[in-house]
Amino acid sequence: MRNNLYPQFGILLIDDEESFLRSMSIALERRGGFNHIYRCQDSRKAMQVIADEPIGLVLLDLTMPHVSGEELLQAIASDYPDISVIILSGLNQLEVALNCIRLGAYDYFVKTTEEDRLIEGIRRAVRLQEMSFENRELRRRFLSDTLEQPEVFANIITQDKAMRSVFQYLESIAPSQQPVLIMGESGVGKEQIAHAIHTLSARSGPLVSVNVAGLDDNVFADTLFGHHRGAFTGADKARAGMIEQAAEGTLFLDEIGDLSQASQVKLLRLLQEGEYYPLGSDRPKRIRARIVVATHQNLEEKQLQGEFRKDLYYRLRIHQVEIPPLRKRKKDLGLLLDYFLSEAADELGKAKPTIPKELPVLLENYDFPGNVRELRAMAFDAMSQHRARILSMEAFRRVLTADHSPELLAEKGVAVRFNEEQPLPSLQEISDLLVEEAMRRAQGNQSLASRLIGISQPALSKRLKKLQGDEPL
379, with CB counted inside 10 A (0-12, 13-18, 19+), is buried
Structure confidence at residue 1 (pLDDT): 41
Question: Between residues 121 and 136, which one has the greater pLDDT?
Answer: 121
- Per residue in 226-239, pLDDT (tens digit) is 998 888 877 788 88
Structure confidence at residue 416 (pLDDT): 61
Percent of the chain surpassing pLDDT 90: 49
- CATH class (in words) of the domain with range 427-468: mainly alpha
- Residue 410: pLDDT above 50? no
Average pLDDT, the chain: 86
Instruction: Centre a 10 Å sphere on the Cβ of residue 319 and count the other Cβ atoms it contains.
Output: 21
Structure confidence at residue 403 (pLDDT): 53
Structure confidence at residue 143 (pLDDT): 67
Rg (CA), the chain: 30
Out of 49-63, 178-192, 261-275, 406-420, least confident range: 406-420
Residue 472 — pLDDT band, cuts 50, 70, 90?
A: low
Say how many CA atoms lie within 13 Å of 317 toward its Cβ: 15
Residue 264 — pLDDT band, cuts 50, 70, 90?
A: very high
- Residue 325: pLDDT above 60? yes
Backbone angles phi, psi at 64, to 5 degrees: -140, 150
- Per residue in 160-176, pLDDT (tens digit) is 999 999 999 999 888 88
Max Cα-Cα span within the chain: 102
Q: Which CATH superfamily is domain 2-135 in?
A: Response regulator (3.40.50.2300)
- Residue 75: pLDDT above 90? yes
- Per residue in 278-307, pLDDT (tens digit) is 998 888 898 989 999 999 999 999 999 999
Out of 20-24, 74-78, 409-413, least confident range: 409-413
CA 281, 287, 290, 295 torsion: positive or negative? positive
Please state the length of the chain.
473
> Does the fold of domain 160-324 match that of domain 2-135?
yes
CA neighbor of 9 nearest in space, from 63, 67, 66, 50: 50
Structure confidence at residue 184 (pLDDT): 95
CA neighbor of 126 nearest in space, from 164, 173, 178: 178
Most confident option among 132-146, 381-395, 411-425: 381-395
Cα→Cα distances 253→31, 267, 440, Å? 24, 11, 43
Pairwise CA distance, residues 363 & 63, whole Å: 71
Fold annotation for 327-412: Helicase, Ruva Protein; domain 3 (1.10.8)
- Residue 130: pLDDT above 90? no
Structure confidence at residue 409 (pLDDT): 43
Question: Between residues 441 and 356, which one has the greater pLDDT?
Answer: 356
- Residue 58: pLDDT above 90? yes
Cα→Cα distances 212→257, 312, 313, 371, Å? 9, 16, 16, 22
- Domain 160-324: give its CATH architecture: 3-Layer(aba) Sandwich (3.40)
SS (H, E, C) the chain: CHHHCCCCCEEEEECCCHHHHHHHHHHHHHHHCCCCEEEECCHHHHHHHHHHCCEEEEEECCCCCCCCHHHHHHHHHHHCCCCEEEEEECCCCHHHHHHHHHCCCCEEEECCCCHHHHHHHHHHHHHHHHHHHHHHHHHHHHHHCCCCCHHHHCCCCCCCHHHHHHHHHHHHHCCCCCCEEEECCCCCCHHHHHHHHHHHHCCCCCEEEEECCCCCHHHHHHHHHEECCCCCCCCCCCEECHHHHCCCCEEEEECHHHCCHHHHHHHHHHHHHCEECCECCCCCEECCCEEEEEECCCHHHHHHCCCCCHHHHHHHCCEEEECCCHHHCHHHHHHHHHHHHHHHHHHHCCCCCECCCHHHHHHHCCCCCCHHHHHHHHHHHHHHHCCCCECCCHHHHHHHHHHCCHHHHHHHCCCCCCCCCCCCCCHHHHHHHHHHHHHHHCCCCHHHHHHHHCCCHHHHHHHHHHHHCCCCC
Cβ pair 29, 275 in contact under 8 A: no
Cα→Cα distances 84→58, 133, 204, Å? 6, 12, 29
**Domain assignments of the chain as residue spans, ordered by start:** 2-135, 160-324, 327-412, 427-468
pTM of structure: 0.72
- Residue 200: pLDDT above 80? yes
Residue 363 — pLDDT band, cuts 50, 70, 90?
A: confident
